[in-house]
Structure 1
Amino acid sequence: MSTTTEATAGSGDQGRAAQPDLTDRIRDAILSGDFAPHQRLIEADLSDRFDASRASVRTALMNLAGEGLVERLPNRGARVRAISVEEAIEIVEVRMGLEELCARKAAESISEADAADLAQLREQIRTAVEVADLVGYASLNQEMDRRIREISGHATATQLLERLHAQSARHQFRLAYHPGRIAQSAPEHIAIIDAVLARDPDAAAEATRHHLQGIIALLSALS
């Protein structure tokens, strides 16, 4: 092999290995349903699919195993970890304390600019409900959760919640399309927003708790 060819190959390997968002890309594929629970995640296939080096794929899978989305099997590689309903309920129970904290902090520290953005998001949620846009509504709910975490400014709670949301994403998607769910959850989400906009920490925490208790009740009924 010529020196030029070796240099080119080396440069390509470095470029593939330098994928900064490979963990995010594989995570998104898992959460969007491209990979099913218990499906094996073969390094060679992932390397081809995401145009990344095997070493990068291996690192990404280790990261996702740490997040609880992937499980490593002795001598068999990795696969998508299935989250049971019972575990999903436990995750929501843990989320409850963290999300109450973020809602409380958000109500205490929300700026005028953040309030304007959150009020606009509130109207978008109302519109999605009126036109029965379930896909848009589910996306807006995720955006609302993200914005409240961001406004709260609590970095540790935010980091933990992002991991917990990722682990229970499949069950959240299932609940979003449950018959009658939108009629129940929309007023709960709006109540959370209204309490934060009113800068009422106690009301924001209570509205958040009420919403998550409803999710636990529905998960229990579906188990």
Structure 2
Amino acid sequence: MQGEGQNVLSGAAATELVVDGVRRAILGGEMSPGQRLVEAELMEMFGVTRGSVRSAIDDLTGDGLVEKIPNRGARVRRVSLDEAIAILECRGVLEGLIAARAAERVTAEQAERLNRIGTQMQEAVAGAELRTYARLNSQLHELVAEIGAQEIATALILKLRSQIVRHQFQLSQRPGRPQVSLGQHLAIIEAVTSKDPQMAEQAARRHVQSVIETLLEIKEEEREAAPQRQPIAV
């Protein structure tokens, strides 16, 4: 909390502080789709000027994380299931590129780290430790991105991932999904540590395609569960 008499940040650094903070809050589930972004609250939270908050909201709107509603301010943008699938189609290409680059660049020490994460993921799934598995999942993708060193693709994925966090959470709660996901992640690890770029790209893209297919199943289930409108007698 910004106390009285403390310096208030402004400028590009302050804007970036708010953008990064809001993005992390969305990814962490602290801010939910449809939640209003109140300028005064963000000023207090980050210790920045109103101008910096407004610039940050503009940047977040450009990234597709926030939307402005006329006469009502800004809110965390809701992303439909159809749009989430379209986003994942783009992500699949980027994830494949990063995995291929990682396979080209991986060192023995990095391969050991990847294999260690893979072992920990197997233990987490066997113990039904979903939170641990989710954390290791993120660590794996971060390490593959670090090894691949494709900064533009990694930055684009971060923006896209932030937009569909609600659907990713829904997916993570689906019975049996961790077991399916585990095999796909182990395939990525094997391909990268084997220094096989083509196999790594295919493994990464198969994983994202599996996510798309599961979301399509959820969409169909929601459609079937929706109450059917009865014809009106005339």
Q: How far is the alpha carbon of 1:15 from its aligned partner?
A: 7.5
Aligned to 1:158: 154
Count of residues paired in the alignment: 215
Q: How far is the alpha carbon of 1:36 from its aligned partner?
A: 2.4
Match of 2:202 among 199, 202, 206: 206
Q: In 1, Cα distance between the equivalents of 2:23 and 2:102?
A: 28
- TM-score normalised according to structure 2 size: 0.85
SS in 1 for 2:75: strand
**8 Å contact from structure 2 (residues 26, 165) kept in 1:** no
**Paired-residue identity, %:** 42
Alpha-carbon deviations, 1:1-37, whole Å to 9, x = none?
A: xxxxxxx95x623489964522211222222233321
* Aligned-CA RMSD value: 2.0
**8 Å contact from structure 2 (residues 36, 76) kept in 1:** yes
Aligned to 1:105: 101
Aligned to 2:136: 140
Aligned to 2:45: 49
98 and 14 in structure 1: CA distance in 2 versus 1, 3 angstrom threshold: closer
Q: In 2, Cα distance between the equivalents of 1:171 and 1:66?
A: 21
**8 Å contact from structure 2 (residues 96, 202) kept in 1:** yes
SS in 1 for 2:25: helix
SS in 2 for 1:72: strand
**8 Å contact from structure 1 (residues 40, 78) kept in 2:** yes
Does residue 39 (structure 1) correspond to residue 18 (structure 2)? The answer is no
**8 Å contact from structure 1 (residues 118, 193) kept in 2:** yes
Match of 1:221 among 217, 220, 226: 217
**8 Å contact from structure 2 (residues 17, 46) kept in 1:** no
**8 Å contact from structure 1 (residues 69, 166) kept in 2:** yes
Does residue 167 (structure 1) correspond to residue 163 (structure 2)? The answer is yes
Structure 2 residues not aligned, in runs of 5+? 220-234
103 and 17 in structure 1: CA distance in 2 versus 1, 3 angstrom threshold: closer
SS in 2 for 1:79: strand
Q: In 1, Cα distance between the equivalents of 2:7 and 2:93?
A: 47
Comparing 37-46 with 96-105, greater Cα deviation is found at: 37-46
Q: In 1, Cα distance between the equivalents of 2:26 and 2:98?
A: 27
Does residue 22 (structure 1) correspond to residue 18 (structure 2)? The answer is yes
SS in 2 for 1:21: helix
- Whichever residue aligns with residue 186 of structure 2, its letter is I
- The answer to which structure has the higher helix fraction is 1
- Whichever residue aligns with residue 113 of structure 2, its letter is D
27 and 71 in structure 1: CA distance in 2 versus 1, 3 angstrom threshold: same
Comparing 82-91 with 197-206, greater Cα deviation is found at: 197-206
Aligned to 1:188: 184
Match of 1:12 among 4, 7, 20: 7
45 and 206 in structure 1: CA distance in 2 versus 1, 3 angstrom threshold: same
Aligned to 2:227: none
Q: How far is the alpha carbon of 1:178 from its aligned partner?
A: 0.8
- TM-score normalised according to structure 1 size: 0.89
SS in 1 for 2:160: helix
Q: How far is the alpha carbon of 1:215 from its aligned partner?
A: 0.5
SS in 1 for 2:67: strand
Q: How far is the alpha carbon of 1:128 from its aligned partner?
A: 1.1
Structure 1 residues not aligned, in runs of 5+? 1-7
